[in-house]
Amino acid sequence: MRIPLDELRAKTDGALRFYGYDAEERRVLSEVLLYAQLRGNNQGIIKLIGAGIPRDAASGPIHVEHETALSARLDGSRQHGMLVLNHAVDLALEKAKASGFGIVGSHNTATSTGAIGYFAGRIAAADCIGIVASSSPGSVAFHGSTQALLGTNPIAFGIPSMGGSLVLDMSTSAIARYGVLEAQTAGAELPAGVAIDADGAATRDPSAALQGAILPFGGYKGAALSLIVEVLAGPLVGAACAGMADVSRNWGNLALALAPALLVDGETFLQQVADLAATLRAGTRLPGVEAIQLPGERGDAIRTAVEAEGALEIEDNLWQELCAVAARAG
């Protein structure tokens, strides 16, 4: 059904109040969730229903465990992953502003960070090149294996530009885990070639895929990139990775910010990226292709349209469940 944006914001805030978050936490969480929802990304308000995102009863204050001029490692103290990663981005940007480079990792969280393009976009908006990566428990098989050992291991790049940032936000799996859950909820089939069942046979049944494994995107190269992310958002940040005992409890995040001025003139860089983007957009198109879209532009276009209309389409069940959670906040 068609939902006015204001109402969506109010119900999102209500659900977050129900889960016990304070005003500043609700601001960050809403921003990350609605970034996804308004861009047609499946990491949005679906996260507020079902098990939802209650605060972990064992949570404590997010704090810095290890720090240098260029780096920090955060103990997420079982707070929500989005809050912890947002904190990591703040700190990485602070360090990059002072030194040209900042890298901040976090561990000891066990919740999704949502659409990490949001965080890479924040870094690019500060005129730095951003790399953001997240780990989570195994649901993806390495190339040649049937075993769901790797996380869906998203990685996002933010590239600042005079003409609007380029933001690539991609899981290294052929489909996001939320995509499989969405298909299961909707009773829909998965696309071909994205999953195997427990015996290693190709499947389009979401339930069988959840018993088996999601495949990496792009064959061997995608699997190898997934492994790189497993390291960058695992052992490099003090989080667990495939094979460790605490893999379901100790997810990791990484945020890296790099000022182009470490290497070249910052203004020239921003202009050259804008020119490169314009060159690619103007390239001759394959038959049937209406427009060449650079990373992030499909989502940007959806968001622009949604904001112009002040309303967006939300699946009936999802909306009703969100309203029910929000109602419980009183």
User: Please, which of residues 5-34 interact with a second copy by CB under 8 A?
Assistant: none
Q: Which is nearer to a second copy, 38 or 96 (CB)?
A: 96
In the complex, minimum distance from the CB of residue 123 to a second copy, in angstroms, rounded to a whole number: 14
Q: Does 128 bind a second copy (CB under 8 A)?
A: no
Q: Which of 157, 178, 251, 319 binds a second copy (CB under 8 A)?
A: 157
Phi, psi of 125 (to 5 degrees): -65, -25
In the complex, minimum distance from the CB of residue 74 to a second copy, in angstroms, rounded to a whole number: 10
In the complex, minimum distance from the CB of residue 273 to a second copy, in angstroms, rounded to a whole number: 6
Q: Does 142 bind a second copy (CB under 8 A)?
A: yes
Q: What is the CB neighbour count within 10 angstroms for residue 207?
A: 12
Q: Which is nearer to a second copy, 187 or 283 (CB)?
A: 283
Place of tokens 């919740």: 111
Place of tokens 């029910």: 324
Residues near 152 by beta carbon (within 8 Å), at least 6 away in sequence: 136, 139, 140, 171, 172, 173, 176, 177, 214
Q: Does 121 bind a second copy (CB under 8 A)?
A: no
Site for a second copy in 84-113 (CB under 8 A): 99-101, 103, 105
Q: Which is nearer to a second copy, 129 or 312 (CB)?
A: 129
- Give the Cα separation of 127 and 161 in Å (integer): 8
Q: Which is nearer to a second copy, 72 or 123 (CB)?
A: 72
In the complex, minimum distance from the CB of residue 220 to a second copy, in angstroms, rounded to a whole number: 8
- Give the Cα separation of 187 and 54 in Å (integer): 27
In the complex, minimum distance from the CB of residue 282 to a second copy, in angstroms, rounded to a whole number: 9
In the complex, minimum distance from the CB of residue 267 to a second copy, in angstroms, rounded to a whole number: 11
Whole-number CA gyration radius for the chain: 20
Site for a second copy in 166-195 (CB under 8 A): 166, 168, 170
Site for a second copy in 57-86 (CB under 8 A): 66, 68, 70-73
Q: Which of 7, 267, 275, 315 binds a second copy (CB under 8 A)?
A: 275
Q: Which of 8, 34, 84, 149 binds a second copy (CB under 8 A)?
A: 149
Q: Which structure tokens are listed for 230?
A: 């497993």
Q: Which of 284, 308, 310, 316 binds a second copy (CB under 8 A)?
A: 284
- Give the Cα separation of 198 and 148 in Å (integer): 9
Provide the b/e sequence for 19-49 (b: ≥16 CB within 10 Å). Answer: bebeeebbebbbebbbbbbbbbbbbbbbbbb
Q: What is the CB neighbour count within 10 angstroms for residue 132?
A: 31
Site for a second copy in 190-249 (CB under 8 A): 196, 200, 217-219, 221-222, 224-225, 227-228, 230-232, 234-238, 241-244
Query: In this structure, are strands 71-75 and 101-109 parallel, antiparallel, or unpaired?
Result: parallel
Q: Please tell me whether residue 104 adopts helix, strand or coil conformation.
A: strand
